[in-house]
Structure 1
Amino acid sequence: MREIGIIRRLGNTEEPEIIAAELSAWFRERGIKVVIDQVKPGLDLLIILGGDGTLLHVAGEASRYGIPVVGINLGDLGFLTEVSKDERYEALEAILHNRFAIEHRLLLKTRLISGGRPSDWRMALNDVVISKGNIDRLIQLDSWANDNYITTYRADGLIFSTPTGATAYNLSAGGPIVHPALQSILITPICPFMLDSRPLLVAPETILTARLKDGRRQDVKVLVDGQSAWDIHQDDTIEIQASEYYLKLIASSKKDYFEILRNKLNWGSSIKNGKNPSR
C-alpha cells in the first residue's frame, strides 16, 4: 500500500480533523502517503471519517476509480460506516496485512431526458427519488421496465433503490429490506393512492424509465442520494439503470449485516451470543 486518502465529515466538531491527523501520522510512520479530502485515481484505500452520509458523498468517485473504501463511524453505528472509532487501529492493521473482505455494492446511474436531450449521468449508492415537493396533490408517473409498461403510479413520489439503500428512504416508505449481496433494483411508491400499488423488485439488467404525466404539477424534483439533481416537467423522462461500477466496501470483521440490522432497527434478541447452534 503506497498512498491512501482520508475523507473528513464536515460539521461543527473538531473530532474528524483530530482523528485524521492521528491517522495521517500513523500511516506515514509506515511509509504510506496520505491525502486529505481528495478522491483521485491511484489511491489504494479511502478512509471515511464520519457517517453514512459522508460515505455517500464520495461513493460515485470512489467506485469510478475502483478504490476500496472503509468507513470509520464517529457517531452511531452506520449501515455503511461499520468500524467504530475505538476499533480503527485494529481494523487498519488488518487491512494493511490483507485480512479483510470486500463487498461489491451495486450503484445506480440516472439521467434526465428533456426535450429529447439527455443530461449527464448521476450516480447513486442508495436511491433515486422522484418527489412531488411542496405541491398538495398526487403526481402521476408512467413507468416502464425496458420496453414493457409497468403501470402509472399515482403517489407522492417514486423511489428507485439499490439493496444498499433498501434500509434508507425505501424502508420508511414501506419497501422491503434486501440483503446487499442480492443484485436487484427496487421500485417503491411513496404514499400511493391505491393500496395495491406495491413495491417491486427487478433484475439489475433492467433499464427503468419514468415519465411525468401531468404537466400541471409544479415543483416535482429528482433527488439522487438525497441531493437535488433536477426539476422535472410534463413528458420529461427519468432513466435509471445499474451502473457499470461497483463500490468496493471493506466490511467490518467484528459485525455482520444482521447484527447491524438488529442494532439500527431495535430488533429484540433472545439469543445472547447470536451463534447458530447447528454450526
Structure 2
Amino acid sequence: MKSVFRHVALFGKTHANVQGPALEHSRQVLDDVAQFLARRGCDVVIEKDTALHMGLHLYPTLDVPTIGTECDLGLVIGGDGTMLGVGRQVARYQLPLIGINQGRLGFITDIPLQSYQELLGPMLTGRHQEECRQLLHARVERGQDCVFDALALNDVVVYRGGTAGMVELRVDVNGHFVANQRADGLIIATPTGSTAYSLSAGGPLMHPALGGWVMAPIAPHTLSNRPIVLPDSAEIGIEIVAGRYASANFDMQSLASLMIGDRIIVRRSQHQARFLHPEGWNYFDTLRKKMHWNEGGA
C-alpha cells in the first residue's frame, strides 16, 4: 500500500561530534530510509542542515520553516536529543513526527532502527497512534528587556556556574512568593522531561497526558526543599538573587548566561509537539523497557 503521507522530510543528527565511521553509518541509514519511503510513493526531502552535515546531495533539501509549511510528516533519525531539537522547531507548524531510534535511550524516538521497516510500513498507511506533548515557553528578562526567548520540550534548568558556591533563587508561582532557594539549581520539567534531568534530581515520573510541570531543586541546601508538581496553567518566575556565573538552559541545548536580578519566566507554550507511534504503542511499555523494570522476573 502507498503512503497516506505524500511529502516526507528526513531529519538526522547534526552534531559536530558525529564524525568518521559514525557519520558514514548515519549517512547510510538516512539514505536507506529515504529509499524505503520513495518505494512507497513518498516525495522525500532532507532537512537542510542534516543534508549539509551528512553530505547527502541526492535528494532535495528544505529549511525547517519550508518543511513546516510544505511537508505533512517529519521522520527523525537519531536519539531523544535529536527529536527534542526537531520537536521544538516544528511544533509551531503542527507537523507530526515519527522517531527512529539511533541513540541510547529512545523515550520519544520509539522505533528501533533494526526493525524500522516492519513498524514504519503500516504507520505510513495510516495505522498509527498520535499523541501531543506540551512545550514550555521561557523568557529571560533583564530589567525591562527580554534578552533570551526559547521553547523547551523537556525542561528549563537554572543552575550555578562553574564555581563551588550555590545559587540563590527567588521563586514565585502566578505572582505568589514561594521561597528563596539555595541550591545548585532548579529544574522546571514537562511530563516528557520527567524521565530526564528531573528524575535524577528526585522528581516524579509524570504521564504525558497530565497537564502539569515538575519543579525540582538540584542538591538543595535545605533538605526539606522537595520537588513539587504544579498545574501547567501556572506561570513560574525565577529571579537570580545571588550566585556568580549562573546560567539557564532549555532542553540542554540553548544556553543563556545570567546576571544578578535577571528573571526567568516559564509558562505553557501555545504550541504542542505531535508524535506518531506504532499501533499498540503504550507509555507504560516504554517505561518498563527503558527503566528496566521487572528484569529477572517471571
TM-score by length of 1: 0.91
Task: Determine the C-alpha separation between the residues in 2 that align with 1:181 and 1:152.
Answer: 31
Instruction: Give the total of aligned pairs.
Output: 270
Query: Which residue of the partner structure matches residue 70 of structure 2?
Result: 42
- Whether the 8 Å CA contact 2:246–2:257 is kept in 1: the answer is yes
Following superposition, the deviation at residue 264 of structure 1 comes to: 2.3
* RMSD after superposition: 1.7
Indicate the SS of the match to 1:72.
strand
Indicate the SS of the match to 1:213.
strand
Task: Determine the C-alpha separation between the residues in 1 that align with 2:296 and 2:35.
Answer: 44
Farther-moved stretch of structure 1 (22-31 vs 156-165): 22-31
Query: Structure 1 residue 258 and structure 2 residue 284: aligned?
Result: yes
Structure 1 vs Structure 2: percent identity of aligned residues? 33
Query: Which residue of the partner structure matches residue 187 of structure 1?
Result: 215
Query: Structure 1 residue 166 and structure 2 residue 194: aligned?
Result: yes
Alignment of 1:56-205 (within 5 A): 56-205=84-233
Indicate the SS of the match to 2:222.
coil
Q: Would the alpha carbon gap of residues 255 and 77 (structure 1) be closer, same or farther in structure 2, given more than 3 Å must change?
A: farther
Please, which runs of 5 or more residues in structure 1 have no aligned partner?
273-279
Following superposition, the deviation at residue 57 of structure 1 comes to: 1.4
Task: Determine the C-alpha separation between the residues in 1 that align with 2:221 and 2:253.
Answer: 26
Q: Would the alpha carbon gap of residues 248 and 261 (structure 1) be closer, same or farther in structure 2, given more than 3 Å must change?
A: same
Indicate the SS of the match to 2:203.
coil
Q: Which has the higher helix share?
A: 2
Farther-moved stretch of structure 1 (247-256 vs 61-70): 247-256
Task: Determine the C-alpha separation between the residues in 1 that align with 2:287 and 2:39.
Answer: 37
Please, which runs of 5 or more residues in structure 2 have no aligned partner?
48-62
Deviations 1:83-131 (A, max 9, x none): 0012212222222221111110011010100021013530101000001
Q: Would the alpha carbon gap of residues 88 and 239 (structure 1) be closer, same or farther in structure 2, given more than 3 Å must change?
A: same
Deviations 1:222-271 (A, max 9, x none): 01110242111111100001111110011233652222222222222576
- Pick the aligned partner of 1:8 from 12, 15, 23: 12
- Pick the aligned partner of 2:256 from 230, 234, 240: 230
Query: Structure 1 residue 31 and structure 2 residue 41: aligned?
Result: yes
Following superposition, the deviation at residue 186 of structure 1 comes to: 1.0
Task: Determine the C-alpha separation between the residues in 2 that align with 1:68 and 1:52.
Answer: 16
Task: Determine the C-alpha separation between the residues in 2 that align with 1:84 and 1:139.
Answer: 41
- Whether the 8 Å CA contact 1:143–1:152 is kept in 2: the answer is yes
Task: Determine the C-alpha separation between the residues in 2 that align with 1:24 and 1:155.
Answer: 47
Task: Determine the C-alpha separation between the residues in 1 that align with 2:248 and 2:100.
Answer: 30
- Pick the aligned partner of 1:17 from 13, 27, 31: 27
Q: Would the alpha carbon gap of residues 93 and 78 (structure 1) be closer, same or farther in structure 2, given more than 3 Å must change?
A: same
- Whether the 8 Å CA contact 2:211–2:231 is kept in 1: the answer is yes
Could you list the structure 1 runs, at least 4 aligned residues long, displaced by more than 4 angstroms after superposition: 269-272
- Report the residue type matching 2:120 in the other structure: L
- Whether the 8 Å CA contact 2:148–2:256 is kept in 1: the answer is no
